[in-house]
């Protein structure tokens, strides 16, 4: 007999998927607890925070070339990092833009 992991008195319940569960008495105590309500706009707040971070740090993932090393320069990269243009592109490429 396996004892309850919480009270260590009653017989624990063994579930084939979840494993060893607390006894029926401890589970009944859990049902008596008041449920904590989640904030009304929890997901909206989180979504807003994620969007704000994307807006602030979105330029960090810009690539210098649009379709690979041999293609044309990425205009969004040039706008975000004008001081790094000469490190990535030749003068000929920059004149074409």
Written as one string, the DSSP assignment of 26-75 is HHHHHHHSPPPPPPTTHHHHHHHHHHHHHHHHGGGG--SBSSSTTSPBPH
Query: Taking 70 as the threshold, does the pLDDT of residue 41 lie above it?
Result: no
Mean per-residue pLDDT, 59-75? 82
pLDDT confidence tier of residue 71, bands split at 50, 70 and 90: confident
Stretch among 15-24, 45-54, 74-83, 86-95 having the lowest mean pLDDT: 45-54
Cα atoms in the 13 Å half-sphere on the side-chain side of 76: 9
Q: What is the pLDDT of residue 88?
A: 87
pTM of the model: 0.45
Amino acid 4: pLDDT: 92
SS3 of 21, please?
Answer: strand
Does position 15 have pLDDT exceeding 90, yes or no?
A: no
Task: State the average pLDDT over residues 32-53.
Answer: 68
Is 60 exceeded by the pLDDT of residue 40? no
- Mean pLDDT to the nearest integer, 10-32: 87
């Amino acid at each position: 007999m396996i004892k309850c992991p919480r009270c260590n008195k009653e017989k624990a319940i063994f579930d084939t998927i979840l494993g060893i569960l607390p006894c029926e008495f401890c589970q009944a105590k859990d049902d008596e607890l008041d449920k904590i309500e989640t904030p009304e706009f929890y997901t909206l707040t989180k979504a807003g925070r994620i969007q704000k971070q994307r807006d602030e740090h979105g330029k960090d993932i810009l690539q210098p070339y649009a379709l690979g090393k041999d293609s044309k320069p990425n205009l969004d990269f040039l706008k975000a990092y004008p001081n790094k243009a000469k490190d990535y592109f030749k003068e000929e490429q920059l004149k074409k833009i």
